[in-house]
Structure 1
């Protein structure tokens, strides 16, 4: 009888001890798995084009055709009306498909596609280029413009910034209007799938509310050049000096820094299906492609 009682008590004690230990091990394992799943956003270089794109300022990927467009200033002065600016076409492998697809521009910068046309800012003008023919079909001089820069489009409306005057303009149905102003050194602009406008200026990464007011989402990523909306509150932003950031309202991670190589990172482009970021290097005269990992 005593032997049985001792055995039973030992068995109950062992069971309780095992029950107490097991949840702790499971919790530790789950926490380890969560930690392993958190990845730091990064960029992996895929290719770089030939260095024949003279002062390449902006890159735009067209998902409908698979073409990559670049705007090339040609020269040191981004405000000089010299008629030397061009648009080139690259393949997704970095090959230069057409070195001079469009010529006769001055200092072309940001680009966006809408209504079968490519829209490009050119100092104080918005230029319309037919995608099929490559012909310049229209030019609109923007009153009071000084340094038109980045461009974005949504549902046929084209939005573009003036870095010097701090204004955001829009183009639709042959008319240009000012939709917002008072933004210090505003450059990069992008539009989300729901039509929300985002921008980069001296105060950081901001968004436009439905009533026209703005709010700062991230005050650390300031003075940005190119902007990509990834969705779920995440963005990729470039700084001309040679930095590319992964940013959200909560945090930011510097994914690339090429300042030591004196290689700029101007108005970036993005291929969402392949998650590839295209970086124009400005004075290095080439485009570098990176795989986005996050």
Structure 2
């Protein structure tokens, strides 16, 4: 199995999902056996447990990223089936995403927006952080959101009173976020430095 600059991972119901440029790779845990490799082209659907993934609508160039206009959100099943949920070139280059019931929360890399998408695919704006380049997104047990920002080189906290505070700074290109529930710490990959920062809460 060959990976091409994987951008995000998620463990869900005994499966490891890896977003890998224009593919999604799915592996069984703990064996690591590959279950599916998905090229997002057509639309098929599946049943059972699933995860959501974003297409950030970005094309890599020399030292920069250009818009491809393919901004979208997909629902993906471990058997390799997937379904297009919403596609809109005005989504602001969606990146981090979390699901809560029938509602999605999304942060955008291009426009620096944070918004909710309801069950009818209607977008609802949330408070915008001071700087953009938003990448990773986590929801804590107390309802607060953690958001990584390339623009601020920081990890923002969206508090329950809709204000922002900075949990950590001096982070060069902080990407997707992970959470170690056993040790209560945030895992922050630094995209350009190939490093991983562990931040206790």
Normalising by structure 1, report the TM-score. 0.55
Alignment partner, residue 107 of structure 2? 200
Runs of 4+ in 1 over 4 A off after TM superposition: none
Map of 1:96-245 to 2, 5 A cutoff? 104-143=2-41, 156-164=49-57, 165-172=70-77, 173-182=79-88, 183-192=91-100, 194-201=101-108, 202-220=111-129, 222-241=132-151, 242-245=153-156
Q: Which has the higher helix share?
A: 1
> Against the structure 1 CA distance between its residues 104 and 174, is the aligned structure 2 distance closer, same or farther, given a 3 Å change threshold?
closer
Distance 1:273 1:195 in 2: 28
State how far apart, in whole Å, the 2-side matches of 1:207 and 1:273 are: 29
Distance 2:173 2:112 in 1: 21
Describe the SS at the equivalent of 1:187. Answer: strand
The answer to whether structure 1 residue 251 and structure 2 residue 163 are counterparts is: yes
Q: How does 1:17-36 map to 2 (within 5 A)?
A: none
Separation in structure 2 between the aligned mates of residue 233 and residue 214 of structure 1, nearest angstrom: 20
- Separation of aligned partners in 2, 1:208 and 1:224: 17
The higher radius of gyration belongs to 1
**Aligned counterpart, 2:198:** 289
Query: Greater RCO between the two (CA within 8 Å, min separation 6)?
Result: 1
